Structure 1
Amino acid sequence: MLALLLLLAGQVIAAPAAQPFDAVKKPESVDPEWRPRLCALLPQPCNPQSLGLYRPRGAAAGDYAVLSDEPLAMAMLRIKRGADSRTWQLARLHDFSSYAAALKKEGSGTPEARVSLAPALYPLAEGQWAVAVLQTVSEMYSGGGASFTKADFVPLDESKAAYDDIPFSCSKMVRACFSEKEYKQSKHCHDESSGSLRIAYGEPVRPGEPYNWQFTWLQSDWPAHTPPSAATTTRLHFAARTTERAGFCGGPQ
């Protein structure tokens, strides 16, 4: 945790790179009561079922991060184990509930989007980090479905996004077989697409200025009635003002 906090404070100089969090696969083995205990440390009201427990990659033993959807928040924590108890200590809390409320207000009249946080920190400038506030829209089709996620990259202690409405990930599957004969004869009974964002962090033009973010969209498309070898992958570079260049799985509708 100390190393991560020093990074956040800007006291460790390193090449620009995102700091990912790894999901704890069996959080109950860490603490059977982790959900209510961590909810008590977050802004209220808190939904225990909306929490995810993570380990910042490279963190010291006992250091964790919790991400919450309700309220939208991220906290850095340390666990201390006693003979018959476990105690969680809050090291740093970042509350994005007001940002989430503003998103929902602005999105009135549009399809309901699920708001969440990506399990990572993104470097804005030396000592400055952002979190990705994700908005996910899902669509259901007969025999298929789709999911489209965009991201606002919000500085940890600010309320205004550095970059907003950036395509983050997508997946889409549309049924293309409608008879028993087609299902038996077709090599592939769906049109499938999946895409994801890549970010490269270039050094600033001058010391103290923001890093130069470079966005790349990677998308795979596999047409119906074709073998896996027919799938294609495209890689496109785009800027915050040219997000339409990202294929985004052709949606949302």
Structure 2
Amino acid sequence: MRTITNLLLLACAHPALAALSSPVIEPLALEKLPASNEHFAAICPAIFDDCGPESPLILWRKAHDNSLFYAVTPQFEVKKIRSVAGGFQQETSWSLAQYRHSNTDDAYQHDGLTKGGLTLFPAIYPVSKTQQAIALIHNWSSAYASGEREENYADFIVLEADGTWRTAFSNLPFSSAEKIKACFTERDFARHTHCHDEKWRTLKVTMQDTGAEYYTWSFTIKTFHWPSFTAKSDIRIDTWSYSKVPFADQAG
């Protein structure tokens, strides 16, 4: 018992050891509510004019949790809304209409990719015990006769309680996909079940509370390679991981 107690005290005194004992914190996934949902019907008219079946308003909630909602307008206004007695109350609002994404410059264009639009990824990312961030995604894509390709890059934006925001991480590869046709004749398609060279990439983000001001974020990038004319079981996966602290790149 004394040995266990000493190890616990040592872990608390040493941040690196404390990090090993701290649980992994996952982003909070959000689900999109359809316009036909009763909560959408109740919340939408209070903050937006167009609330019909094809309304462009996006309303998210934690899965099966009707206490907290996030509404996103086409102008990238993000509104945090809580359920209160007798209705709903807007807690905070953030305007991202003037936000300039770090990856929208034409300098990033290459290999014939075309600049796309901005989207918010449906998740909330803890930054500290009291702060949270969202991921604003910018897309590049291209489609041609023999295939298609897209790349997505994320700016992680901290939503402050006073309605302001700060960028914690910028221009991070978020996801990508590429598919190139490898069969061109009827004989090719008859002989092969997988007629494309495919490659795609995903990003997983987790956090740890090390006792510092901000959580340490861990990024795991997985790249999947699936050559044409091979079985799905032959997919090769390359994994790369690294860790960063929010705002660290902006110091100094």
TM-score (norm: length of structure 2): 0.71
CA RMSD, aligned part only? Answer: 3.3
Q: For 1:148, what is the secondary structure of its paired residue?
A: strand
Number of the residue aligned with 2:145: 142
CA shift at 1:34, angstroms? 6.8
CA displacement, residues 47-102 of structure 1 (integer Å, 9 cap, x when unaligned) = x754322212463x35422233x2113222256899xxxx6542322221121xx2
Residue 217 of structure 2 corresponds to which residue in structure 1?
A: 213
Query: What's the counterpart of residue 233 of structure 2?
Result: 229
The CA distance in 2 between the partners of 1:31 and 1:159, in whole Å, is 27
Matched residue, 1:29: 37
Query: Quick one: which amino acid aligns to residue 226 of structure 1?
Result: T
Kindly indicate whether the alpha-carbon contact (under 8 Å) linking 2:152 and 2:174 is maintained by their aligned counterparts in 1: yes
Superposition map of 1:1-253 within 5 A:
16-24=25-33, 26-30=34-38, 37=45, 40=48, 49-57=55-63, 59=65, 61=66, 63-68=68-73, 70-78=74-82, 89-99=89-99, 102-103=100-101, 107-108=105-106, 110=109, 111-157=114-160, 158-204=164-210, 207-238=211-242
Tell me how far 1:151 sits from its aligned partner.
0.5
Aligned to 1:245: none
Deviates more, 1:135-144 or 1:28-37: 28-37
What is the distance in 1 between the residues matched to 2:207 and 2:237?
Answer: 23
Query: How many percent identity over aligned positions?
Result: 21
How far does residue 103 in structure 1 lie from its aligned partner after superposition? 2.9
Query: Distance in 2 between the 1:194 and 1:20 partners?
Result: 22
Is the contact between residue 38 and residue 88 of structure 1 (CA under 8 Å) also seen in structure 2?
no
Q: Which amino acid aligns with 2:101?
A: L
Distance 1:128 1:89, change over 3 A: closer
After superposition, the Cα gap between the structure-2 partners of 1:58 and 1:105, relative to the gap in structure 1 and judged at 3 Å, is: closer
Given that 1:41 and 1:90 are in contact with CA atoms closer than 8 Å, whether structure 2 keeps it comes out as no
Q: Give the partner amino acid of 1:213.
A: W
Query: How many residues are treated as equivalent by the alignment?
Result: 212
With 190-199 and 88-97 compared, the bigger mean Cα shift is at 88-97
The offset of 1:126, in angstroms, is 2.1
Question: 2:103·2:171 contact (CA, 8 Å) conserved in 1?
Answer: no
Contact 1:217 1:236 in 2 (8 A): yes
SS in 1 for 2:218: strand
Distance 1:198 1:105 in 2: 19
- What is the CA-CA distance between 1:234 and the residue it aligns to? 2.0
Aligned counterparts of 1:146 and 1:125: Cα–Cα separation in 2: 36
Residue 79 of structure 1 contacts residue 89 of structure 1 at CA under 8 Å; is this kept in 2? yes
Where in structure 2 are there 5+ consecutive unaligned residues? 1-22, 245-252
Question: Does the 8 Å CA contact 1:200/1:215 hold for their aligned counterparts?
Answer: yes
